[in-house]
Structure 1
């Protein structure tokens, strides 16, 4: 499990100084509680895919820090709530997934979380809300839980209000009740004192917080932390190939390294503070570098994150590959590689089609613009004709290296 030197006696202060903290109920009271007692808290993960993403890594880092300060994280897998899907931040209804797919995704999440948290001797706990949501009796549930929610109040929340014009189904409208019920179940089962989550979950979290206080007459808490966004305010975690996954079969260690290596200069300090365990002073020092020197901070950031997610050996390989490619276009075995059949190139493939097949571009139009701007090269030679046909004659020892812009490389091997 991950160890690091504690920089504060109280995890609350650490979450604030590191830039995670967004808001909480009874802030000062909660701060004192976290200093005096070991509490159980939970964070939910709806199983919408078969891997967590870099966006989820904020939640994971918060759980690690809370655990290292003696608190007990409960990772709640949304095997039940994923059957509906959170409408927050959506302009349309989520795709309905099968129970089997959701259960598989939840299992994948559990395995990934096991790499970061210590689950021995109940130092951390995995729960799945499918265990209590899938067999609920509707009338009993509405009599016990539904009576405590005001439709008028729910309709003022952004997660619902923004959908009213285009249509909001009762199916989605019930999501908040289900998530709130999770808090109640976990309170009764484990004595949970707090739910945590991203700032976009504040309304849902407050629903559960209010429900527990009404039905159990006990003081519990809610806390949200900031979403992982870039300096431009864009939610982070998307690459040219889609989401940035923690599963190396979906996003390789090298691709993760390069993604973090290429962030905006303005984000270096923030991401070092939130996504690594480097000391606060070192994060600020690296983030304050200017000009070409800031690349040192980016490289350290990329290495540290890749090491946390994939281990030091693979992070070192990604670092060495990145340096080799930037210095002299060296072919490296860890470079992203695509295998294709020799027969694919017998009659040749247009450069624009090849770029889209390799997911280096999203469309022929994008590829055409890149070629016209001298942004594509093959084996070190700039491609200056977007009508170019790639044949076996372009390959050296059955491989070519395609470079997009200054930082993105793709090796193609034919067999």
Structure 2
């Protein structure tokens, strides 16, 4: 694409690799140049924390604010009761209001690290769509809003079509989701002058629906912009690891484990991730990403430090880097390592090394732990573990021991 943006925000989006698609580049760019532009991203409250898969769009909101515009984080207190069917093969489990509210509280803690919520013209807004969805009158909504939606067109969206093509059930409840999301955009435009909805590229159909609805009902010109669905260079979905989701709340994943996730980035992804997940200048990201051999490891440490500083603060990043250095370079034991503390009752007459690997989160199952040992991938205090029948006793744990899976995953086991 040859479009050269005039606005700072669109320049950042294009230079740093945040942009997948836009409904009208030029008109949106002109709106951004003309003045403070309110823009939103919606987040359904399906878990107690956001994870690394959300981080690209959180950075987009941060850049929006840094370039002089107004970010809106829309919490899906209403839409979470329905569940977004986009590109899912099954229906989401339905959550109760208490769980939804608890999840929103957990997610708010993360947004506060990246955005400034204040009363200034560019101060971020935290809104909840339950505010307008919970009080809707069904018949009025069908008559005023439902009449603008063509079922033929809704069936043509890829997110719905892919589900139907596989002959997987799509409930009427879920089918309504895209109407509710479209209505969110209309309400945000009506109440807050919101001109732009952003989201991952899987949200394109939902975003376009909201633009069409707002044009029909309010005769307002609004815009949509999507970010690419991010995969690692080996084709895996960003944000998943062997141990599960990489959570952004510190009580669900320690700052050390978060730092370590970024330190383990593959060489090929380092430059790209520096541009997307840090605020280092683009030229510096390119320079670091082009390093080769052992030098690229320095770039990965910079990536881990920068990303961890944004989320957990400079002190947590420095502690994580120091712990990693101690563990990997000196073979020592760092304070920040994930720690499994066993009670005397749990230990009993002894705990098998296989169970210890599973409990410490270094293996998913006993079978996985045995395979790790058989393939010489497991170590105890940096010595290879060769016997899956090894038992840990109280005397073994008179001081903490370090278990390792491969070169990069470690945990401490100690008696409480």
Superposition TM-score tier, normalisation by shorter sequence: over 0.9
Name the structure 2 match of 1:180.
182
SS in 2 for 1:394: coil
Q: Distance in 2 between matches of 1:364 and 1:244?
A: 23
Q: Deviations over 1:41-73 (max 9, x none)?
A: 111111111111111111111111111111111
Name the structure 2 match of 1:273.
275
Gaps of 5+ in 2: 1-5
Q: Deviations over 1:264-313 (max 9, x none)?
A: 11110110000000111110000001122111111110111011000000
Q: Contact 2:363/2:369 (CA < 8 Å) preserved in 1?
A: yes
Q: Is 1:363–2:365 an aligned residue pair?
A: yes
Question: Please, which of 336, 347, 350 is the counterpart of residue 345 of structure 1?
Answer: 347
Name the structure 1 match of 2:299.
297
Deviation at 1:352, TM superposition (A): 1.5
Give aligned pairs, total.
407
RMSD over aligned Cα, in angstroms? 1.3
Q: Deviations over 1:151-196 (max 9, x none)?
A: 1111121211122202110010000000000001111101111111
Deviation at 1:33, TM superposition (A): 2.0
Q: Contact 2:7/2:30 (CA < 8 Å) preserved in 1?
A: no
Q: Distance in 2 between matches of 1:297 and 1:152?
A: 50
Name the structure 2 match of 1:385.
387
Q: Distance in 1 between matches of 2:112 and 2:359?
A: 35
Q: Contact 1:268/1:297 (CA < 8 Å) preserved in 2?
A: yes
Q: Distance in 2 between matches of 1:153 and 1:334?
A: 53
SS in 1 for 2:114: coil
TM-score (norm 1): 0.95
Question: Please, which of 34, 53, 63 is the counterpart of residue 55 of structure 1?
Answer: 53
Deviation at 1:363, TM superposition (A): 1.6
Q: Distance in 1 between matches of 2:379 and 2:107?
A: 39
Name the structure 2 match of 1:65.
63
Name the structure 2 match of 1:33.
31
Q: Deviations over 1:223-245 (max 9, x none)?
A: 01123321133221112221111
Q: Distance in 2 between matches of 1:234 and 1:155?
A: 29
Q: Distance in 2 between matches of 1:268 and 1:217?
A: 44
Deviation at 1:216, TM superposition (A): 1.2
Q: Distance in 2 between matches of 1:250 and 1:346?
A: 28
Deviation at 1:112, TM superposition (A): 2.3
Name the structure 1 match of 2:144.
144
SS in 1 for 2:414: strand
Q: Distance in 2 between matches of 1:256 and 1:89?
A: 27
Q: Deviations over 1:303-359 (max 9, x none)?
A: 110110000000000000011111122112112112111232232122212211222
Q: Is 1:15–2:17 an aligned residue pair?
A: no
Q: Distance in 2 between matches of 1:182 and 1:175?
A: 11
Name the structure 2 match of 1:403.
404
**More off after superposition, 338-347 vs 287-296:** 338-347
Q: Distance in 1 between matches of 2:382 and 2:20?
A: 47
Q: Distance in 1 between matches of 2:298 and 2:265?
A: 12
User: Which runs of structure 2 are paired with 1:217-296 in the superposition (5 Å)?
Assistant: 217-296=219-298
SS in 2 for 1:74: strand
Q: Distance in 2 between matches of 1:296 and 1:238?
A: 23
**More off after superposition, 68-77 vs 106-115:** 106-115
